[in-house]
């Protein structure tokens, strides 16, 4: 579904990615692991065209999206839940959901705000509140809802549960599992290995801009050395 090959990205003159290869198949949930500053967010930005890679290929559903503007890539079906949530603070909860929502003609039933409220009932009570008033957990739920409303085929979550209470975290993981079983492909960045090895199919570990390890959950659980070397756990 999504394939990154030999991606090299820079911030100004500083190279951040050195030939990243990542592949995500339809219906798969894949994690991208690594310590801070190793290039996880840059990888996400490179997929969406927010940071334009200098070299490499990116294909999504068989189409070349390398160098395309972010809005095109998003329209093709990649939904982003960004680091820091980036909720629109001056828009209400409902407006956050509908402002950038997908309006399809192809008969596929789009996500509606009601579906999102069903997924995250706590948002239903706050539809008219501005985004800036929400707690961190509510903002994350809203960010996921907002991304779903764009009708993604692939959902990318950069720091899915960072700074959230355990109870909220569990809710987010449940939600992602449900979305996955409904057929959505998911790329998730997070630090909670236990949850990730439980719900993800495969994992990539990034270190200083390179993919240094890849494999399934079974292999990751069985390899404490990898976890210690690259993830510090």
Partner 1 sequence: MSMQLWVVQTLNGLQLGVMLFLMSAGLTLVFGIMNLINLAHGSLYMLGAYLAATFQALTGSFFIACLLAVPLVMGIGMLMEMSILRRLYDRDHLDQVLATFALILFFNELVRMTWGPQAYFMAIPESLSGTVEILPGIPYPAYRLTIVLAGSGVAVGLYLFIGRTRLGMIIRAGATHREMVGALGVNIKLLYTFVFGMGAAMAGFAGMMAGPILSVETGMGEPIMILAFVVIVIGGIGSVRGAFAAAVLVGVADTFGRILLPPALSSMAIYILMAGVLCFRPQGLFPAHG
Asked if residue 53 binds partner 1 (CB under 8 A), the reply is no
| Beta carbon of residue 70, minimum distance to partner 1 (angstroms, whole number) | 5
Q: Say whether 188 sits in a helix, a strand or coil.
A: strand
Residue 133 or 198: which CB sits closer to partner 1?
A: 133
Q: How far apart are CA 169 and CA 79, in angstroms?
A: 20
Smallest distance from partner 1 to CB 201, Å: 25
Per rule CB under 8 A, is residue 65 in the interface with partner 1? Answer: no
Give yes or no for residue 104 binding partner 1 (CB under 8 A): no
Which of 182, 201, 200 has its CA nearest to residue 192? 200
Find the binder of partner 1 among 99, 165, 170, 233 (CB under 8 A).
Answer: 99
Q: What is the DSSP letter of 127?
A: T
Residues 6+ apart with CB under 8 A from 115: 148
Using CB under 8 A as the binding rule, whether residue 91 contacts partner 1 is answered as yes
Secondary structure E strands in the chain: 2-11, 14-24, 29-33, 55-60, 63-64, 78-81, 154-158, 185-189, 202-207, 210-216
* From 2, 80, 172, 206, residue interacting with partner 1 (rule: CB under 8 A): 80
- Per CB under 8 A, residues contacting partner 1 are 48, 50, 69-71, 74-75, 79-80, 82, 86, 88-91, 95-96, 98-100, 102, 130, 132, 146-147, 150
């Amino acid at each position: 579904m999504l394939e990154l090959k030999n991606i090299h990205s820079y911030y100004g003159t500083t190279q951040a990615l050195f030939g990243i290869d990542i592949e995500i198949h339809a219906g798969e949930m894949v994690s991208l692991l690594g310590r801070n500053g190793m290039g996880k967010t840059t990888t996400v930005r490179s997929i969406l065209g927010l940071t334009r890679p200098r070299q490499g290929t990116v294909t999504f559903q068989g189409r070349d999206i390398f160098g395309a503007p972010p809005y095109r890539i998003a329209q093709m079906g990649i939904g982003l839940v960004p680091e820091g949530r980036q909720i629109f603070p001056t828009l209400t909860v409902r407006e956050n959901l509908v402002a950038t929502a997908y309006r399809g003609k192809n008969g596929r039933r789009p996500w509606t705000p009601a579906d999102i409220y069903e997924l995250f009932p706590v948002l239903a009570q706050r539809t008219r509140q501005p985004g800036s008033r929400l707690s961190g957990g509510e903002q994350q739920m809203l960010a996921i809802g907002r991304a779903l409303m764009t009708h993604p085929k692939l959902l990318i979550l950069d720091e899915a549960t960072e700074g959230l209470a355990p109870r909220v975290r569990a809710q987010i993981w449940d939600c992602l599992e449900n979305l996955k079983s409904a057929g959505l492909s998911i790329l998730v960045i997070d630090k909670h290995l236990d949850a990730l090895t439980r719900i993800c199919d495969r994992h990539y570990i990034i270190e200083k801009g390179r993919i240094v390890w890849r494999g399934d959950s079974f292999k990751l659980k069985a390899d404490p050395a990898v976890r210690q070397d690259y993830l510090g756990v």
